[in-house]
Structure 1
Amino acid sequence: MKTLGIDAHNLRSGGGLIYIQEFLYHLENYSGKFERIIIWTNKHAASDLNYVSSVLELRVPILLRSDSVIFHFIWVIWFNLFVKKKTDVVLTLSGMNLCRGNGKEITMFHSILPFSHDVIKLYRGRLDYFRYLMLRKLYKRSINNSDGILFSSKFAADIALKEHTEKRNMVSVVPFGIWTNFLKFRKEKNKTPDHIRFLYVSNFYLYKRQLFLISVFEELISAGYDVSLTLCGDTYGHEIVLKQLTSSIIRTDRIKYIGKIPHKFIPEIYNNHDVLIFPSLIESFGIPFIEAQYFRLWILFSFQPA
Structure 2
Amino acid sequence: MVKLTFVIPSSLDYHGGIEKTVSRYFFYNDPDFTKTVIQGKHGFEGKNIYEIKSLYSRLIIRTSGKINFIIRLMAPAILQLDRIININTIKKIEKDSQIIYLTNNDYYYLFKYNGFLIWSEHGNLPSNYTGVKLLNSVISALIRNNLLFRKIKAVHLINCYNMNVVPFKKKFCVPNGVDSALFYPAEKKHETIRLLFVGRLEKSKGIDKIFNVFKNHVLDMELTVIGSGTLEYLFASPLKNINYIKNPDDKKLAEIYRNSDVFIFPSTLENFGNVVLEALSSGLYTIVSNTTKPRFDEPEKMNFLEYINSTEDGILNALNNIKSKLEYTGKYENRKAMHNFISQNYSWNVVLKQFYEKVKEAYLS
Same fold per superposition (TM over 0.5) = yes
For 1:288 and 1:295, the matched residues in 2 are separated by 10
Q: Per the alignment, do residues 203 and 43 of structure 1 end up closer, same or farther by CA in structure 2, a change over 3 Å counting? A: same
Deviations 1:2-51 (A, max 9, x none): 5322212335322111211221233x333x233xx43211455515xx4x
Do the aligned residues in 2 keep the contact of 1:86 with 1:102 (CA within 8 Å)? no
SS at match of 2:167: helix
SS at match of 1:19: helix
Do the aligned residues in 2 keep the contact of 1:88 with 1:103 (CA within 8 Å)? yes
Q: Per the alignment, do residues 171 and 45 of structure 1 end up closer, same or farther by CA in structure 2, a change over 3 Å counting? A: farther
TM-score normalized by structure 2? 0.61
What corresponds to 1:174 in structure 2?
174
**Correspondences of 1:184-263 after superposition (within 5 Å):** 186-190=184-188, 193-221=190-218, 225-235=219-229, 237-240=230-233, 242-243=234-235, 247=237, 252-263=239-250
Gaps of 5+ in 1: 51-55, 120-132
What is the alpha-carbon root mean square deviation over aligned residues? 3.4
Do the aligned residues in 1 keep the contact of 2:183 with 2:257 (CA within 8 Å)? no
For 2:8 and 2:176, the matched residues in 1 are separated by 17
Q: Per the alignment, do residues 210 and 195 of structure 1 end up closer, same or farther by CA in structure 2, a change over 3 Å counting? A: same
Q: CA deviation at 1:274?
A: 0.8
The structure where helix makes up a greater share of residues is: 2
For 1:44 and 1:274, the matched residues in 2 are separated by 37
Q: Per the alignment, do residues 299 and 187 of structure 1 end up closer, same or farther by CA in structure 2, a change over 3 Å counting? A: closer
For 1:275 and 1:143, the matched residues in 2 are separated by 42
What corresponds to 2:317 in structure 1?
none
For 1:90 and 1:61, the matched residues in 2 are separated by 15
For 2:213 and 2:148, the matched residues in 1 are separated by 39
What corresponds to 1:92 in structure 2?
102
Q: CA deviation at 1:61?
A: 2.3
What corresponds to 1:103 in structure 2?
115
What corresponds to 1:183 in structure 2?
181
TM-score normalized by structure 1? 0.71
Match of 1:269 among 256, 274, 281: 256
Gaps of 5+ in 2: 60-70, 296-365
Deviations 1:126-166 (A, max 9, x none): xxxxxxx9xx99xx8985431011122125x36xx85xx53
SS at match of 2:276: helix
Q: CA deviation at 1:298?
A: 0.6
Q: Per the alignment, do residues 148 and 63 of structure 1 end up closer, same or farther by CA in structure 2, a change over 3 Å counting? A: same
Do the aligned residues in 2 keep the contact of 1:17 with 1:45 (CA within 8 Å)? no
Percentage of pairs with the same residue:
22
Q: Per the alignment, do residues 262 and 206 of structure 1 end up closer, same or farther by CA in structure 2, a change over 3 Å counting? A: same
Do the aligned residues in 1 keep the contact of 2:188 with 2:259 (CA within 8 Å)? no
Q: CA deviation at 1:86?
A: 4.7
Match of 2:154 among 132, 135, 148: 148
Matched AA of 1:82: I
Q: CA deviation at 1:196?
A: 0.8
